[in-house]
Chains A and B, each alone.
Chain A
Amino acid sequence: MNIDIILAGVGGQGILSIATIIGNTAVKQGLYLKQAEVHGMSQRGGDVQSHLRLSDKQIASDLIPTGKADIIISVEPMEALRYLPMLKSEGWVITNTNPFINITNYPEESILMNRIDQLSHKIAINADKIAKDLGSARSSNMVILGAATPFLQLNFNDIEYTVKDTFIRKGQDIVDVNIACLHAGRDFAMKK
């Protein structure tokens, strides 16, 4: 087993919460893990990415070589495209469709969505809307994670358990809504 994931987003969007849940699940399953993060200057509203590598064998490089990533998981649509050079030709893109616009030259939404449509293996999901409909706009990351779960080669029950474990300190309501978001994302991806 061997899976290389690029997590993408904008500084402050919290991509590391997705990384932590996948990472903790993988470690519980006895897998090796390396996860390179971005700290410092770029965290101030710039583009950020994390390389997450899971394997049943020792992992050499902290960074995924270009053209070798199995999945891009992005919480922002333009940021998903930024890391295409990292992706294998048969790799999947799982992305939020809700843009985060903090620059003046952000591409026009129809052009951006059109470009995402052209990707051969993608799950494009409006995670913000789904999370909001389920009662927690802040949980859109869990929708994205849910949509990525069919591709992760990890036991879904274990992922679910890690999500519960992560949010239990904040109370049962928070756990429930995050689990609902996780399932909604997964169901969306399974139907595609």
Chain B
Amino acid sequence: MQKLLLLGDEAIAQAAIDAGISGIYAYPGTPSTEIMEYIQASKQAKENDIHRQWSANEKTAIEAAIGMSYAGKRAIVCMKHVGLNVAADGFMNAAITGANGGLVVVSADDPSMHSSQNEQDSRCYGKFAMIPIFEPSNQQEAYDITIAAFDFSEKHKTPVLLRITTRLAHSRSGVVCNMKRNQNEIKLPDNTKQFILLPAIARKQYNELLEKQKHFEKEFETSTFNEYIDGKDKSLGIITSGIAYNYLMENYPDRVCPYPVLKITQYPLPTKLIARLADECKSIMVMEEGYPVIEEQLRGLLNRCLTVKGRLDGSLPRVGELNANAVARALGLPDTQGEAIPNIVAPRPPALCLGCPHIDSYKALNEATEPYGKGRVFADIGCYTLGALPPYNAIFSCVDMGASITMAKGASDAGLNPTVAVIGDSTFCHSGITSLFDCVMENTPITIMILDNSTTGMTGGQKSHGVGRLESICLGLGVEKEHIHILNPLPNNHKHNTNIIKQELNYKGVSVIIPQRECVQTLKRRLRKQRK
């Protein structure tokens, strides 16, 4: 038994290793990235020969994890919340196939959108797919419940969704690690049809999935993770989920809440425990991080018989993260505020690093597109999204991974010419390749810039699938060789690079321009390592 100082992400990673996984699959995405990074750096994972390579995207990641589960071994697959959109096809259908070896899907939500384009709540996906959801409230529970999730997955032959949020993912605390389990041997499913979702089989298994829900709920009524903590003052009963529990308890220095509290950590919701709270208390307040998922279920559409407070009635803010202050206000407890921010304090938004190759790419692109006016450049998700900010003001969209190319195609189809797509090398490999294929099939007039800094930069420099392969991928898809250009984005090459872009903007077909220069952050790290 050892006590380690771990991020929530790292606690999940260590638990997965200790639970005997044979593989982790993931694509980098804040706030989930550190789960894979921890396992990649782990000596224990290396000794146990655990699969720990990045996947091209979340869909390929989850499918590989389902395959590992099919073979009877335990697998974990990790992503940020919007990554679950990409993996949704596999996720939804894995509910119907069920698992063989333990299968845990981690989705890290980002309420308040610290590093994301929305604050969707992964618990909606869990409910949608009818996959049980585990939602830890602290680092120790993250460790314990990850182990429990693998047990539950194998016992009920179901995938488990492990939902965390930014503040747990990226907060460190002491964690006692007290488990060590060997990996499973290869063991194919007892039912050889389990993973064949032909309609006749799928219908049968869908009924089984519905049947399983009763067993899930029954377990969660008595699970030690769903805790009913009695209180003297029955004027209010409080339901918390995940880390909201901490914000509640922060308001009571001795950690005793006067009201009865039901701490939810596992879903489907334990109806009997909730009924007890509703019977004993005059009204109920729901505190949950993210969407009002529990609150909506309690209220129903008409909400005639129960007083339910929370994010929907305005007791708590409808959007963004919770915190101890918001909870204090909701409970009518004294709120504390320090001095206001002095007005001389200027905002300091994130920016491209000094010497970043994207700066040179945007300078050339801005000059080349200048004659056509603003609004023709569709971009994507990565460091280069910062090109939307001054002084560049170079891009006009950022929607989802790979959308730059296909949105530019749609605009081109609509008659907007020229149109430009800007996408990074890792994002291109994640979801841009099929988009380019669509353009090639129709010879769409479009200029695509693949900004190749040879890494997944925004999340901290993870290995990118595209390194050394971008040109051959484009050729293979059918882009004409004379319309593929590799540039070196340096200030000295500005004129040459601008001219190439200008030239391709005039071409009425598919052009791919690849400005290629290593990310300054990974370069710095590489040189530091070499010096040692």
Contacts and interface: CB of A to CB of B under 8 A. Distances in A.
Interface string A5-28: 000001100000000000110010
Contacts of B115: 39-42
A59 B139 CA distance: 12
B522 to A, nearest CB: 14
B323 interface: yes
Contacts of B337: 66-67, 85
Interface in B327-344: 328, 335-342, 344
A39 B459 CA distance: 8
Question: Which of B31, B115, B255, B342 neighbours the largest number of chain A CB atoms within 10 Å of its CB?
Answer: B342
Interface residues of B, number: 48
B5 A39 contact: no
Given A27-B174, A58-B255, A40 B342 contact: no
B345 A46 contact: no
A132 interface: no
Given A62-B167, A107-B346, A81 B5 contact: no
A158 B347 CA distance: 37
A123 to B, nearest CB: 17
A44 interface: yes
A129 interface: no
B120 to A, nearest CB: 17
Main SS of chain B's interface residues?
A: loop
A37 B5 contact: no
Interface string A41-68: 1111111000100000011111101111
Number of contact residues on A: which range applies? 35 or more
B383 interface: yes
Main SS of chain A's interface residues?
A: mixed
Contacts of B338: 66-67, 69, 84-89, 91
A16 to B, nearest CB: 10
A24 B5 CA distance: 9
A125 interface: no
Interface stretch (A98-106, A160-168, A181-189): A98-106
Contacts of B351: 44-46, 102
Contact of A39 (B34, B325, B347): B34
A77 B347 CA distance: 14
Question: Which of B173, B328, B341 neighbours the largest number of chain A CB atoms within 10 Å of its CB?
Answer: B173
Interface string B479-512: 0000000000000000000000000000000000
A180 interface: no
B487 to A, nearest CB: 23
B174 A43 contact: no
B344 A39 contact: no
Interface in B143-182: 167-168, 170-174
Contacts of A23: 5, 172
A190 interface: no
Contacts of B347: 47, 103
Question: Which of A39, A47, A85, A102 neighbours the largest number of chain B CB atoms within 10 Å of its CB?
Answer: A39
A79 B335 CA distance: 24
Contacts of A51: 171
A41 B167 contact: no
Nearest to B252: A60
Given A34-B172, A63-B324, A85-B339, A103 B250 contact: no
B249 A60 contact: yes
Contacts of A102: 348, 351
A144 to B, nearest CB: 19
Contact of B247 (A35, A61, A106): A61
Interface in A92-120: 102-103, 105-107, 111-112, 115
Nearest to B349: A46
A38 interface: yes
A43 B323 CA distance: 22
Interface string B374-416: 0000000001001000000000000000000000000000000
Contact of B345 (A11, A40, A107): A107
A138 interface: no
A21 B249 CA distance: 28
Contacts of B243: 62
Contact of B342 (A27, A66, A84): A84
Interface string B342-375: 1011111111110000000000000000000000
A105 B345 CA distance: 9
Contacts of B352: 44-45
Nearest to A24: B5
Interface in B107-129: 114-115
A59 B247 CA distance: 11
A36 interface: yes
A33 interface: yes
Nearest to A36: B171
Contacts of B255: 58, 60
B369 to A, nearest CB: 24
B460 interface: yes
A159 interface: no
Contacts of A61: 246-247, 249-250, 323-324
Nearest to B337: A67
A156 interface: no
A87 B344 contact: no
Nearest to A10: B348
Contact of A63 (B323, B340, B460): B323
B265 interface: no
A63 B167 contact: yes
13 contacts: A34-B172, A35-B172, A35-B173, A36-B170, A40-B115, A60-B249, A82-B345, A84-B338, A84-B339, A89-B338, A103-B347, A106-B346, A115-B342
Interface of A: 10-11, 23-24, 27, 32-47, 51, 58-63, 65-69, 78-79, 81-82, 84-89, 91, 102-103, 105-107, 111-112, 115
